[in-house]
Amino acid sequence: MQIVQQILFVLLAAAAVFLFARKVREIRRNIKLGKDAGINDNPSARWRNVLLLAFGQKKMFKRMTPAILHFFVYAGFVIINIEILEIILDGIFGTHRLFAPYLGGLYNILIGCFEILAALVLVSCAIFLVRRNILKLKRLNQGELNGWPKTDANAILITEIVLMALLLTMNAADYNLQQMNVHHYYNTGGPFWVSGLIAPLLSGMGEGGLVALERTCWWLHIAGIFAFLNYLPYSKHLHIVLAFPNAYYAKLVPQGKMDNMKDIQNEVLYMMEPDKAPTDAAAAEPHRFGAKDVNDLSWKNLMDAYSCTECGRCTAVCPANITGKKLSPRKIMMDTRDRMEEMGRNIDQNKEFVDDGKSLLHDYISTEELRACTTCNACVEACPVSIDPLSIILQLRRNLVMEESNAPQEWNMMFGNIENNMAPWKFSPDDRDKWAQELAEA
């Protein structure tokens, strides 16, 4: 019977790893649809970002209550996974609490710490559910979260509660079996810190019932973890993995500095210095001004989309959204990810991308949304993992203006003034200093 369980466990683990790796390859392929960004400068500053933003969650602590709760969940996720190593080895080798004989009294302390974290995770997730579904915080209940995004968030929180409850119940049944000196259940020397409080509730169960309960919880716990592993790439909770590389490749220059368009700079350069213009007409012609679809964006923009936690901090501080405009920076990232996934499915079906008549601009993100942006960078500053919705907005907006000549009349007047007068105002360059002369005469 034991060998059958070992075989089933190995098959389950292998299937979980295979499916996860296959989905990761798809996501990597989708991110590589973007253009090269050439981000390789200042590695020391980038590693500092990883430590402060991803590991330390520095930006989260601008709001203390959700930050502390999130830290419990994050720490629990990372540290409790150490115990999963023992569970996996037990499943492969048919052992039970493999590390206990080697760690002695330290084993109970470690498991006790894991259990405290598990209890904190359970309570934190329950509070998060209340905030989302009963208190209905505005940023967690906006229109773009209707349907799957809201279901996804609730499903993850409920799953974590169930996984932690299974872990604590498994340990409680295990301790009672230890007290009965049941074969295969190594006596660790005392109750664990949290499950020890649950164990008396199971005292009325016989040996057979306790073994069945412990084994059921063990299998459901590890199967749930494997299921969670494969659910992750389909969920906003992929940020658990991508937050770290995303923090590393975050923008280091001042957030208010915008990247100029090299194609436009080159046009001006070639007018002033014609000898530098390419002789090959095809090389001189830019592919596209700005971005119309995800393959016009950089791979970093696309990684941002996959890293988005949908927490809504960006939208909550967006002045356009606050004043009732249609723009939501969170929706920009969600739409980019949805379009990227759609293009990925197209490639899977046709072996290469076949034009589907759609684009990120217009089909997913509207002109109204793009025009509402004030380029204030509040969304970038608010993001816990340094996602940059503004970069995508600017590139789409540049395409609107330069490819489609699609701009409000007020913008066109300004563009004309800049072109003719080298300033946004309708004054000749020769008249620009007249105000100073008038002051002097007065």
> Which pair of structure tokens corresponds to residue 42?
């200042």
pLDDT, average across residues 78-87: 86
Beta carbons of 251 and 386 less than 8 angstroms apart: yes
pLDDT, average across residues 354-378: 96
Q: How far apart (Å, rounded) are the C-alpha atoms in residues 35 and 69?
A: 37
Q: How far apart (Å, rounded) are the C-alpha atoms in residues 179 and 186?
A: 10
What pLDDT, on a 0 to 100 scale, did the predictor assign at position 280?
66
Beta carbons of 317 and 424 less than 8 angstroms apart: no
Q: How far is CA 207 from CA 147, 189, 416, in A?
A: 45, 19, 85
Which of 189-193, 281-285, 376-380 has maximum average pLDDT?
A: 376-380
Residues near 269 by beta carbon (within 8 Å), at least 6 away in sequence: 276
**What is the number of other CB atoms lying within 10 angstroms of the CB of residue 365?**
21
Return mean pLDDT, the chain: 91
Closest CA to 214 of 224, 202, 204, 232: 202
pLDDT at 132 over 90: yes
What pLDDT, on a 0 to 100 scale, did the predictor assign at position 423?
82
pLDDT tens readout for residues 1-20: 689 999 999 999 999 999 99
258: which DSSP letter?
P
Beta carbons of 301 and 388 less than 8 angstroms apart: yes
What pLDDT, on a 0 to 100 scale, did the predictor assign at position 286?
58
What pLDDT, on a 0 to 100 scale, did the predictor assign at position 260?
81
> Which pair of structure tokens corresponds to residue 32?
């590589």
> Which pair of structure tokens corresponds to residue 224?
């749930």
Beta carbons of 385 and 247 less than 8 angstroms apart: yes
Judged on CB neighbours under 10 Å (0-12, 13-18, 19+), 46 is middle
> Which pair of structure tokens corresponds to residue 261?
């368009």
Beta carbons of 328 and 142 less than 8 angstroms apart: yes
Of all residues in the chain, what percent carry a pLDDT higher than 90?
A: 72
User: What does the domain layout of the chain look like in residue ranges?
Assistant: 2-31+63-248, 262-431
Closest CA to 286 of 303, 305, 264, 253: 264
pLDDT, average across residues 329-345: 97
**What's the distance, CA 99 to chain centroid?**
34
pLDDT band at 320 (very low <50, low <70, confident <90, very high): very high
Backbone angles phi, psi at 383, to 5 degrees: -65, 130
DSSP per-residue string spanning 164-185: HHHHHHHHHHHHHHHHTT-TT-
Q: How far apart (Å, rounded) are the C-alpha atoms in residues 248 and 245?
A: 5
Q: Which CATH architecture has domain 2-31+63-248?
A: Up-down Bundle (1.20)
Residues near 156 by beta carbon (within 8 Å), at least 6 away in sequence: 231, 235, 237
Q: How far apart (Å, rounded) are the C-alpha atoms in residues 25 and 30?
A: 9
Beta carbons of 378 and 317 less than 8 angstroms apart: yes
> What's the pTM?
0.88
305-319, 368-382, 421-435: the lowest-pLDDT one: 421-435
- Return the higher-pLDDT residue of 16 and 274: 16
DSSP per-residue string spanning 114-129: HHHHHHHHHHHHHHHH
pLDDT, average across residues 272-294: 75
pLDDT tens readout for residues 33-43: 999 988 888 99
Q: Which residue has the tokens 């503004």?
A: 390
Q: What is the CATH code of the structural domain delimited by 262-431?
A: 1.10.1060
pLDDT at 283 over 60: no
- 3-class secondary structure, 373: coil
pLDDT band at 281 (very low <50, low <70, confident <90, very high): low
Q: How far apart (Å, rounded) are the C-alpha atoms in residues 37 and 298?
A: 6
What pLDDT, on a 0 to 100 scale, did the predictor assign at position 242?
94
- Neighbouring-strand partners of residue 35: 298
Beta carbons of 308 and 389 less than 8 angstroms apart: no
